[in-house]
Amino acid sequence: MRRISVLLAALPLILASAASSFAAAPSNPPVVVELFTSQGCSSCPPANANLIELAKREGVLALSFAVTYWDYLGWKDSFGKPEFTDRQVTYEPGLHQQSPYTPQMVINGTTTAVGNNLAEVVRLVEDAAPAAGPQITIAGPSVTVATGDAPPSGADVWLVQYEPGVIDVPVARGENTGRTLPHAHVVRALQHLGTWTGSAISFERPETATGLRAAILVQVTRGGRILAASTEAQG
């Protein structure tokens, strides 16, 4: 009887641990929608609003990357980083685009649309093939990518840190002078953790900055298809 009582007492902890592991490694990976935008671009606010709506959809990981090539217009994007611009540039050959533009949305690394066209983006999200990549487990400072079928070139493992809510930014100069622009899921940091070649592998990651949430993307090299994605459980 005593042993049964001990097991019953421990059951909530066991269930909590299992739930935490499940949250860190969902069985249904989200469709990843990346918006490349700029506070200095007058056509971007509608796309920002569309990403806010997409971020509410179950099964979608919406990410806003601020590029830097419109900064010369008089307003330097407060979230812009060169590595975000580089990520967009890397996508364009595979997407048959001559050059990067804003606002652009990329879905699972394989299809693209103008970010202002919500109906087209939703169609691409709904038509996206389910990710068949490896399972990702995020546990504290460790990220583990399980065994699976890797492409010949291997796959990049990316750490994305983003703000999970909506941020309002007043713009004082440039094409959006006097406007306050809302942004959803603003990416603050992008880090390449390493390469996955099909065997199970673990990576150390930095602690998630206060107020941010971490996501892991496993993606065919040189801006290819996103094979798997996962976000850490909310605290």
If phi over 0 gives left and psi between -120 and 50 gives alpha, with beta otherwise, what is residue 74? left
pLDDT of amino acid 41: 97
* pLDDT tens digits along 145-156: 999 999 999 999
Distance CA 81, CA 34 (A): 15
Reduced 3-state DSSP string for the chain: CHHHHHHHHHHHHHHHHHHHHHHHCCCCCCEEEEEEECCCCCCCHHHHHHHHHHHCCCCEEEEEEECCCCHHHCCCCCCCCHHHHHHHHHHCCCCCCCCCCCCEEEECCCEEEECCCHHHHHHHHHHCCCCCCCCEEEECCEEEECCCCCCCCCEEEEEEEECCCEEEEECCCHHHCCCEEEEECEEEEEEEEEEECCCCEEEECCCCCCCCEEEEEEEECCCCCEEEEEECCCC
C-alpha of 117 from chain center? 20
Residues 117, 172: Cα–Cα separation, whole Å: 27
What is the rounded distance in angstroms from the CA atom of residue 24 to the CA atom of residue 81? 28
How high is the pLDDT of residue 98?
94
pLDDT of residue 5: 41
pLDDT at 101: 98
Which residues in the chain come in under a pLDDT of 70? 1-27, 234-235
Position 4 scores a pLDDT of: 34
The C-alpha atoms of residue 213 and residue 235 are separated, in whole angstroms, by: 10
Cis, bond preceding 103 (omega within 30 deg of 0): yes
